[in-house]
Amino acid sequence: MGYLMRRNILTYKAPPNNEGYDLICIHPNPRHKHKAGQLDQVKVQVKSRYATDAIREFPLQSKSLRAFDFVVAVFLNIGEFARGKTGQAGRGEVEFFVFPRAVLKRIPRPSGWEGIRFDPNAPWLQKYRGEEALAQIGTLLGVPLPSRE
């Protein structure tokens, strides 16, 4: 939520037990007139992992694909915990991946598991990586980058 709000996108937590999305994003100006192709609100599902050594994957049921506009996968990278590690080593920067629904439909899914697994270093993925990728949500809402006039 904080990173979206830094981008000047008003972000609210969805009601508890809401199926399909976790955040609702809107334009900060209540008088903003949306242009063609823009939305009044954007629904975001958030998937997070805390371990630095976590596999870059997250569960995602096919039936929930119609409930959101974006999935933001956040890897907090607070330490390494695999194979008995205590988490004291391996801390790193937070990683974001902002996936539009249409992109998630095209990612091949591992057989026998309803989820998304990806290589974070794949060249095609770079435009969906990092804080800059949150601009996709801002663009869909018509929210410009914060600036001083």
In a domain, 132, yes or no: yes
108 has pLDDT over 80: no
**Is the predicted pLDDT of residue 25 greater than 80, yes or no?**
yes
Predicted pLDDT at 74: 94
The domain containing residue 58 runs over which residues? Answer: 2-141
Q: What is the mean pLDDT of the chain?
A: 90
3-state secondary structure of 39: coil
3-class DSSP state of 135: helix
* Structural domain contains residue 24: yes
149 located within any domain: no
Indicate the number of domains in the chain: 1
Give the tens place of pLDDT for each residue, 34-46. Answer: 999 999 999 999 9
Contact predicate 107/116, CB 8 Å: yes
The pLDDT confidence band at residue 105, using thresholds 50, 70 and 90, is confident
CATH for 9: 3.40.1350
